Chains A and B, each alone.
Chain A
Amino acid sequence: MSDQIRLKKGLDLPISGAALAEVTARVTPDLVAVKPTDFRGMVPRLLVKEGDSVMAGTPLFADKKNPGMVFCSPVSGTVDAVVRGDKRKLLAVRIKADGRGEAVRFDVPKIASLDKEGMTELLLRSGLWPCLKQRPFGTVADPAAEPKAIFISGMNTAPLGPDPEFALKDDFAALQAGVDALGKLTRGGVHLSLAARSFAGGELHKLTGVVFHQFEGPHPAGNVGVQINHISPINKGEVVWTVDLHLVAVIGRFFLKGVYDTRRIITVAGPAAVKPSYVEVPAGVCMSSLASYFEQGNVRVVSGDVLSGEAVGRDGFLGFYHNQVSVLQEGDYYEMFGWINPFRSKKFSVSRAYPAFLRRKKYDMDTNENGGERPFLMNDVYNKVLPMDIYPLYLFKACLAGDPDKMEQLGIYEVIEEDVALCEYVCPSKVEIQNIIRGGIELMMKEM
């Protein structure tokens, strides 16, 4: 079918608190939020006001540039608050759920009967379009664009992330419907990358109408950006779309049941998680619904993984694209002679300057920076964790210099923040590399 791509560079973070393969709760939330900030490149226009009652699938806001693209409520209830930040920037629409689970019913035609325009129109109208992300830059897909292909990562290598085979084990019918629907949107095919063990015999391998690719290697081998770089790298002027596997199931459910159903099985895990396991939640669920999984004390609750997720706090909300919650102790302590200690057995380092490479154990990682910020000094640490044909240090420096030509030449189209997150993790100078890439991407979007 397809050859196996073996990646050597990268790092599987030995962080403690991995989730047990067990669904311990199916959360019916009290509060959810849809955050426009989850969707890059989108300028929201509000469609509801506080006090309005909504159902699952009722549009809350639309994109000013694409009025047809709507973003919907994942549950039924009333609009509790419209949260705004500086300059009245719309940060979130909060919905108080009524628990009745009422949903807008869509009249769904057969997938086979739809053409590209019909499919696009239906996905836009139903609020499912934002499931599609676009590379370069990781924006919400542009409905007018002609994508080279659609890529889905069927493997998850992110630290503490859910195993797709387990989390989606009841959703294979939905996944099949989802990939069939996506197949209508591109002539380049739907490409699904699987880990070696999901191949041949795995449930995901039974899907039809997709092009399979097999990947092996440490994180970030499961990042769709890395996979694209090896399957069919993005060149200037090209556009590809990506969809997270759990959102393919959401699209599929829409075609099976005719409702906007964003429920997903996520992991709640990490060193500060109580009973780390799998939980079923809708998109945008409030972390307070998961409070029993968090340890007391000064704990950081991250929507997403510990490398590229967003710290949202105990009262924050799960991001639209996220399928895991990571819980960590805040590391606001002083450590005497930490860097002189020859062993430092409680901390992990990928560098052999510490003997951590001799230990096979998981570490209770926390959020301590483990050092002060310095200029770039070491030059060979970054490419060891970025399995792409890119010179990371030069790309970072081009972003810092704000030079769009250089950024383009050095590969800015091929990465988003999550792809360089490990570079930030290993950086001995503690440089905020994801912020640098974010700055570069924002500059490029302004220039184009």
Chain B
Amino acid sequence: MAKNFFDKIRPTFSEGGKLSWLHSSFDAFETFFFVPNRVTRKGGTHVKDCVDLKRLLIIVVLAMVPALLFGIWNLGEQHSIVFGLGWGFWQKVWYGFVKIIPLYLISYIVGLGIEFASAQMKGHEVSEGYLVSGFIIPLIVPVDVPWWMLAIAVAFAVIIGKEVFGGTGMNIWNPALLARAFLFFSYPSKMSGDSIWVGGLSKALAGGTPWKGGEVVDALSGATPLSHASLDGLSAAGTSAWNLFLGNIPGAVGETSVIAILIGALILICTGVASWKIMCSSVLGALFVGWLGTVGGVTDIPCWEQLLMGGFAFGTVFMATDPVTSAQTETGKWIYGFLIGALCITVRLFNPGYPEGMMLAILLMNTFAPLIDHYVVSANINRRLKRAKTV
């Protein structure tokens, strides 16, 4: 039935049809429902593997679903705690759901809108890359971020971060992180501080009606354990490593629950979609610098607890492994991942004003990934030249 529908409207969008200028959009929707009937060309392989980018990217999205589901519940949980509401499970889920839906709508409508428009202008097929970026963005921004800000950040990330370089596959920086960085540097007051990570808290503190006359139980409990711990150590933050692992703490929607992220990591590694080398070396890098920090007396936090805090786990699993912006060579991946982990913890240890180092660590290493690859590939070239000389 759906097939008939597409067959019927295809002429309208084909060359010479009334809406032929919308061809890319038609194509995007049609290929969403149907694997196209295109056959392999002469002069190439006659059979092709059945994997395509849609499949690979949907797996990345699937891997993030546990983090999202936990995040939705946790939004309600944190709100309930801070405002002393004593909600049940479904009330919490509903609260989180209502909070997160607009963020997703904005992310996808703005982001995909721009992707479709630019594909249309270039006459390309719409690339699926934004499916993943658009899914990540609501998971890493404060839940109370004003909608117009989010829209601008998404537009910035897609246009400046991606399209000006030629679209999906050509970008230098991870688009989702670019959106977050844009928000962070453009609207710092909305992106840092103690109150932004719990839904409704900043509004309440700003003098609005808290919640049906209820009092804010403890304003400080809105701070993420990371920002506390960076100043006073973990126990002063009033939270345990177990809570960090579980994730029932304030923070960005997707990044609090290490266990949910680990499920995602397992999916990505088992399917081979993301590089285990990057994840592994990033953890090693973080442990190494975390250990140096304790040995050098910079911090009291044991290095393994660093792995549980803040956005480290989420960044390592879902953003450092972005195949476009990470290092492209296998050797390069080890170096790239290690430096991300190391830089992230370095920022945490030495910059109490902004303890979340993951975003900057990944963006910085995105910038240097081509340089790392350059040296790895140069080594291969030199090997070839040396071979020529010795023979």
Q: Show the binding face of A for B, using Cβ within 8 Å.
A: 13, 15, 232-233, 235-238, 300, 302, 306-311, 326, 328, 330-340, 344, 347-354, 356, 365-380, 383, 389-391, 393-394, 409-411, 421, 424-430, 432-435, 438
Q: Is the CB of B53 within 8 A of A374?
A: yes
| Contact residues of B between 22 and 38, Cβ < 8 Å to A | 27, 31, 33-38
Q: Is the CB of B387 within 8 A of A371?
A: no
How many B residues have CB within 8 A of the partner chain? Answer: 58
Smallest CB-CB separation from B374: which chain A residue?
Answer: A394
Q: Please judge, given known A-B contacts A351-B271, A368-B48, A374-B125, whether A235 and B34 are in contact too, CB under 8 Å.
A: no
Q: Is the CB of A375 within 8 A of B271?
A: no
B208 shortest CB reach to chain A, Å: 44
Known: A334-B3, A434-B44. 14 other contacts (CB 8 A): A13-B47, A235-B391, A307-B47, A336-B34, A340-B58, A354-B51, A369-B39, A371-B50, A379-B323, A393-B328, A421-B45, A425-B49, A429-B53, A432-B43
Q: Please judge, given known A-B contacts A233-B387, A349-B51, whether A377 and B323 are in contact too, CB under 8 Å.
A: yes
Q: Is the CB of A391 within 8 A of B380?
A: yes
Q: Is the CB of A351 within 8 A of B37?
A: no
Closest 4 CB pairs of A and B: A371-B52, A375-B169, A235-B388, A338-B35
Q: By CB atoms of chain A within 10 A, which of B47, B51, B125, B271 has the most?
A: B47
Smallest CB-CB separation from A237: which chain B residue?
Answer: B388
A398 to B127, CA, bound (A): 23
Kindly supply a per-residue 1/0 record for chain B positions 302-331, scoring 1 wherever the CB is within 8 Å of any chain A CB and 0 otherwise. Answer: 000000000000000000000110001110
Residues of B within 8 A of A326 (CB): 46
The DSSP consensus for interface residues of chain A is loop
Q: Is the CB of A335 within 8 A of B35?
A: yes
- Checking A308, A336, A367, A438 against B39 with a beta-carbon cut-off of 8 angstroms, the contacting residue is A367
B270 contacts A by Cβ under 8 Å = yes
A–B complex contacts, Cβ < 8 Å, 22 sampled: A232-B391, A233-B384, A233-B387, A300-B46, A326-B46, A331-B39, A339-B55, A339-B58, A347-B50, A348-B49, A352-B270, A353-B271, A367-B39, A375-B127, A376-B169, A377-B323, A411-B384, A426-B49, A428-B52, A428-B53, A429-B53, A434-B44
B144 shortest CB reach to chain A, Å: 34
B224 contacts A by Cβ under 8 Å = no
Q: Is the CB of B46 within 8 A of A380?
A: no
- Checking A236, A338, A378, A435 against B56 with a beta-carbon cut-off of 8 angstroms, the contacting residue is A378
B21 shortest CB reach to chain A, Å: 19
Q: Is the CB of B51 within 8 A of A428?
A: yes
B203 contacts A by Cβ under 8 Å = no
Q: Please judge, given known A-B contacts A236-B388, A351-B272, A375-B168, whether A370 and B35 are in contact too, CB under 8 Å.
A: yes
B129 contacts A by Cβ under 8 Å = yes
A403 shortest CB reach to chain B, Å: 13
- Checking B37, B39, B43, B54 against A339 with a beta-carbon cut-off of 8 angstroms, the contacting residue is B54
A410 to B382, CA, bound (A): 10
Smallest CB-CB separation from A357: which chain B residue?
Answer: B272
B221 contacts A by Cβ under 8 Å = no
The DSSP consensus for interface residues of chain B is loop
A65 shortest CB reach to chain B, Å: 24
B8 contacts A by Cβ under 8 Å = no
B320 shortest CB reach to chain A, Å: 14
Residues of A within 8 A of B174 (CB): none
Q: Is the CB of B384 within 8 A of A377?
A: no
Smallest CB-CB separation from A307: which chain B residue?
Answer: B45
A430 shortest CB reach to chain B, Å: 7
Residues of A within 8 A of B168 (CB): 374-375, 377
Residues of A within 8 A of B40 (CB): 331, 367-369
Residues of B within 8 A of A308 (CB): 45
Residues of B within 8 A of A438 (CB): 43
A74 to B391, CA, bound (A): 41
Q: Please judge, given known A-B contacts A369-B38, A377-B129, whether A425 and B48 are in contact too, CB under 8 Å.
A: yes
Q: Is the CB of B33 within 8 A of A328?
A: no
B275 contacts A by Cβ under 8 Å = yes
Q: Please judge, given known A-B contacts A334-B3, A377-B169, A428-B51, whether A306 and B45 are in contact too, CB under 8 Å.
A: yes
Residues of B within 8 A of A328 (CB): 46-47
A233 to B389, CA, bound (A): 12
Q: Is the CB of A354 within 8 A of B169?
A: no
A239 to B67, CA, bound (A): 57
A378 to B54, CA, bound (A): 12
Smallest CB-CB separation from A365: which chain B residue?
Answer: B47
Q: Is the CB of A334 within 8 A of B34?
A: yes
B18 contacts A by Cβ under 8 Å = no
Q: Is the CB of A367 within 8 A of B53?
A: no
- Checking B41, B46, B50, B129 against A302 with a beta-carbon cut-off of 8 angstroms, the contacting residue is B46
